[in-house]
Structure 1
Amino acid sequence: MNSETKQSSIVLTSQDDPDELAGSKLWAVYISEAEKYDKALVERWKSDMEGLLIFAGLFSASLTAFLIESYKSLTPDQNIALLTKISQQLEGSASQSLNSTLADDVSVAALACNTLWFLSFGLSLCCALVATLVQQWARDFIQRTEMRPSPIIRARIFSYLYFGLQRFGMHTTVEFIPFLLHLSLLLFFAGLVAFLLPINIVVTAVTAALFGLIAAAYIYLTLLPIFSADSPYRTPLSNAAWGIFQRLLIPFRRHRQGPSGDGESTLLDHHGKSAKNDSQIPSMVQVMVNKAVALSPKRDLRDSQAVVWTVRSLTDNCELEPFVEALPDLIRGPQGRRSAYDDMIYRLLEAQDIQLVSRIEGLLRSCNTGILAPDAESRRRISC
C-alpha cells in the first residue's frame, strides 16, 4: 500500500512541477509525431498478422488431410504382419517379435515424409500462436500509450514502451514470424517429394522440379533487394542477407573512406534510433532513401515522369488550379530565372496527351463563367 501511494505521489509531483509543465507543448509535438509512427507501425503489424493467421489456418487444414493419409505408413497393416509371422513359423525360421516386423516394414521414405510434414505442421501452428500473441501485444501497446491524458506522462510512456520494443527485439520477432510459415511450406514440399517417391518416379520428378523452382525463386527474392534498392520484393531473410553482405563490404568501405569513416550519414526515427549500427552498416531503408534523392539523370527522369502522371490524373479545373499556381515558382525565383526544372517543364509541354497550354487557357476561360466567387476568380486569373 505504501509503495502504491509513493508511486502515485511521484506521478502527481511530476505532473504539477512547473518546470515539467513548461515542456507540455514540446511533448505534445512529440506525441503527435510518435502517434503517427507508432500507430502506423502497430497497425501494420496487426494487419500482417491477420493475413498470416488466415494463411496458417488454411495451410494447417490442408496439411492435416495429408497427415491423416501419411501417418498410416508408420503402422503397417496388422494382418500382413500377422500372416508374415505365421509364414515364418511354418517355415521353421527364427521367431521374430511383431514389433520388430513392424519396425522393419517402415520405409525410409515414409519416415522422411512424416518427419517433414509433422515439423511443417508444428511450425504452422507455432506461427499462428505467435501471430495471435503479436496482435495482443500490439493492442496492449496502443492501450498503454493512451492511459494518461497528460502530454508529459503520455510522451514518456510512448518512449518507455518503444525503447522496450527495441530492447526486447519486437521488430525482429515480427519479421521472423513469416519466415516460420515460409519454412513450414518448404518442409511440406520436401515431404511431398518423399511421399511420392515410392509411388511414381515421374510424379516425384515433376514435384521435385516445382519444389526446386519455388526454392530458387525464394532465394532470388531474398537477394534481389540487396542489389536493387527500389525492388518491392523481399523475404524475411532479406535483412539477414543484407547484413551479411554489408559486413563483407566493410573492409572495402573503410579503405575507400579512410580511417575516419565520415562519409556516411545517419537516419533517425522519431525516437532517436539510428538507422545504422553494428560497425557502421547502413540499413536497406537508408540506402533506398539515399539513392532516391541522389542527384542523377535517372532522378530527373523519375521526377518528370511523376509530374507528367500527376497532370494526367488532374481531370477537374479545381484539381488543376493548385498545380498551375506552383508553376511560376519552378520557372523564376528571387534571383531570377531557375533552370533546375527545365527538363520537367519541357516534358510537360511536349506531352501530346496532356496539352498543358490548352488546359491552362481553359482554366483561364473558366473565370468568365460567373460561377466562381470574386476572390476565387481573382486568384485563378493570377495563377493563369
Structure 2
Amino acid sequence: MADDARVWRVYSKAARKHDKELLDQWNGTLDTLLIFAGLFSAVSTTFILDSYKQMQPDYAKEAFLLQLANASGTPYVAPSDRVDESARAINCLWISSLIASLSTALIAILAKQWLVFYPVSDRENLREWAQLRQYRFDALQRWHVPVLIAVVPVLLHLSLMLFLAGLVVFLWDIDTATMILAFVLSAATYGLYGFTTLSPVFWSS
C-alpha cells in the first residue's frame, strides 16, 4: 500500500483522537490517585509515629522502678518484654496500609512515565507514523499497562481499608462507644463501596 494512501490519513485521525481521550483519562486518574496517596501516606505516618511507641519498653518507667527498688532494698524484677497483642495488630495494619499507599504512588509514577513516551511525534510519512503508533499501542497491551493502571485504585482502597481496621482496633481499648462509631462508619463506607462495585455485575442491563 502506498505511503500517501487515504487509509493512513483516516487511521491517523482516528488514532490521534483515541489516544488523546485515553491518555487524558489515564493521566487524570493517576494525578488524582497520586494526590490522595500522598496526603493519605502523610496521615498514616503521623499515626504510626505515635503507635509504634506502644511496642517499645517504657524506659522511664523502668528507670523509676529500678530507683524505687534500690531505695527500698528490694530486688528489681524487670517487666516482661512481651509486646501487647493489640499494639502489634494496630501497627501491622497501619504499616501495611502505609506500604500499600506508597506502592500506589510508585506504580502511578511509573505508569505516568510510560505514558509520557507513548505519543508518536508528527511525521511527514503517515505510514511510518501509523506503524510506530501501532507498535507502541501493542506494547502497552503486551505489558498489561491498562491492567496495571486499573489495579492502582484497588491498592489505594486496600490501604484505606487496612487503616480503618487499625483505627477500630486502636479505639477498642480506649472507648467502646467511639470504637463502635468508627466500626459502623467504616462498615457503611465499604458496604457502599462493595455495592457500587458489584452492582453493575448484577444489573448490567
TM-score between the two structures when normalised by the length of structure 1: 0.49
Structure with the larger helix share: 2
Q: Are 1:47 and 2:22 matched, yes or no?
A: no
Unaligned stretches of 5+ residues in structure 2: none
Q: Are 1:113 and 2:90 matched, yes or no?
A: yes
Structure 1 runs (4+) deviating above 2 angstroms are 19-22, 81-93
Which whole-Å CA distance do the structure 2 matches of 1:108 and 1:211 have between them? 22
Q: Are 1:153 and 2:128 matched, yes or no?
A: yes
Deviations 1:189-218 (A, max 9, x none): 001011111211221111111121122112
Deviations 1:208-245 (A, max 9, x none): 1112112211211111111223xxxxxxxxxxxxxxxx
Percent sequence identity is: 34
Deviations 1:244-263 (A, max 9, x none): xxxxxxxxxxxxxxxxxxxx
Q: Decide whether aligned partners of structure 1 residues 129 and 149 sit closer, same or farther in structure 2, where only a CA change above 3 A counts.
A: farther
Q: Decide whether aligned partners of structure 1 residues 20 and 81 sit closer, same or farther in structure 2, where only a CA change above 3 A counts.
A: farther
Match of 2:56 in 1: 75
Q: Are 1:190 and 2:165 matched, yes or no?
A: yes
2:105 aligned partner, one-letter code: A
2:37 aligned partner, one-letter code: A
TM-score between the two structures when normalised by the length of structure 2: 0.89
Which whole-Å CA distance do the structure 2 matches of 1:85 and 1:195 have between them? 30
- Which structure has the higher relative contact order (CA within 8 Å, separation 6+)? 2
Q: Is the radius of gyration larger for structure 1 or structure 2? A: 1
1:30 aligned partner, one-letter code: Y
Which whole-Å CA distance do the structure 1 matches of 2:123 and 2:176 have between them? 66
2:32 aligned partner, one-letter code: G
Shift of 1:83: 3.9
Q: Decide whether aligned partners of structure 1 residues 107 and 20 sit closer, same or farther in structure 2, where only a CA change above 3 A counts.
A: same
Match of 2:42 in 1: 61
Which whole-Å CA distance do the structure 2 matches of 1:40 and 1:88 have between them? 74
Which whole-Å CA distance do the structure 2 matches of 1:228 and 1:80 have between them? 60
Match of 1:364 in 2: none
Between the two proteins, the alignment pairs up a number of residues equal to 203
2:108 to 123, 126, 131: 131
Which whole-Å CA distance do the structure 2 matches of 1:111 and 1:86 have between them? 30
Match of 1:162 in 2: 137
Q: Are 1:181 and 2:156 matched, yes or no?
A: yes
Cα RMSD of the aligned pairs, angstroms, is: 2.1
